[in-house]
Amino acid sequence: MTAVSLTQLAQHIDATISSPDKETLARAAEVIIERVAPLDRAQKGEVGFLNDKKYVASLSSTQASAVILTEKLANDYPGIALVVKDAYVGFALAAQLLNPTPKPHYAIHPSAFVDETAQLGNDVSIGPNAVIEADVVLGDNVSIGAGAVIRVNARIGHDSYIHPNVTVYHSCELGHHVVVHSNTSVGCDGYGYAPNAGTWITIPQTGIVRIGDYTEIGASTTIDRGALDDTIIGEHVIIDNQVHIAHNVVVGDGSCLCGGTMMAGSVNIGKNVVIAGTVAINGHISICDNVQITGNTMVTSDITQPGVYSSGMPHTPYSEWRRNSVRIKQLDSIFKRVKALEGQVQRIQSTPDDR
């Protein structure tokens, strides 16, 4: 278990230690923090956080040894506050420092297979039954989880963490500090087939996947290799679980792809784009920088201006949904009736009044 002094924690998250009570503040240097915890359940040795004033009532009852707060909210707290500009960012940094996830043990398990031509950096950890094929290059402090397969000529940069049962296909390149979670596939063949008189001719996918530094990829996600050019994922990208990225997609730096999102081949996503869950994007579409796309949206054309985009229908009571579904099917006939009525009105208005 990781444990740090309150002073160390404050330095790590760039916080000022504050308390309205001088005696409490004087004891702050002796406080030891072991975990992050929800504010309403935090106990001694734990740090909580609050970044929304509507939950400020929880401050009066929390048992946390300290609370991460903005300066404005710290005025309402009688205990020890770690005052930061952004409490959520402060919480994230504290959670990283106190992360209880076991660290790699820096060894090669006897059951792992490592080809003699593979190049391993310092302090590499390779778990049980993992496979490291010919000419693979692993940087310093790389961890390869149990059952993972790193295929011929793949490259993984230093301080990257490949979780159990991940497959990185041949010649793919992952940058530094990349995290790939379990059961994800990087570099499988893209969906390339040519129709030929009722059969399909497979088109070899000869590009690779390139993933930038500090990118994190969730579990059970698939990233296809390029057909001719490469599939490229930028730096500081976060990709959720069960996302599908087809061949030749480009994802710009700092973008976020949430769970269940799917995109067809040759989509080009700009920088700092946020795509919510279960979004579907047609192939050969470009999305400019600084776009947000809400959940269940179907993107069928280029997005050229920053902003928030949506489509689809929110949930409704079943009986209302059934009525609306019937009415949608009637739209064409209703349109024709309205056009006919408009024509009748125009004829009436154009007829001289004989009265």
Catalytic residues: 247
Cα distance between residue 292 and residue 310, in whole Å: 9
**DSSP class per residue in 6-18:** HHHHHHHTT-EEE
Cα distance between residue 233 and residue 174, in whole Å: 9
- What are all long-range contacts of 231-236, with beta carbons under 8 Å and residues at least 24 apart? 231/190, 231/207, 233/209, 234/271, 235/175, 236/212
Residues 6+ apart with CB under 8 A from 193: 200, 201, 202, 203
Q: How far is CA 230 from CA 139, 171, 187, 189, in A?
A: 22, 11, 10, 12
Cβ-contact 230, 247 below 8 angstroms: no
Which two three-digit tokens encode residue 71? 């300066």
Rg, Å, the chain Cα set: 28
Q: Considering only CA atoms, which of 246, 267, 268, 271 is closest in space to residue 256? A: 271
Which two three-digit tokens encode residue 197? 């008189």
Cβ-contact 125, 43 below 8 angstroms: no
Residues 6+ apart with CB under 8 A from 310: 293, 294, 297
Q: Hey, what amino acid is at 131?
A: V
**DSSP class per residue in 317-332:** -HHHHHHHHHHHHTHH
Q: Are strands 161-162 and 143-144 parallel, antiparallel or unpaired?
A: parallel
Q: What DSSP state is assigned to residue 85?
A: S
Cα distance between residue 19 and residue 10, in whole Å: 14
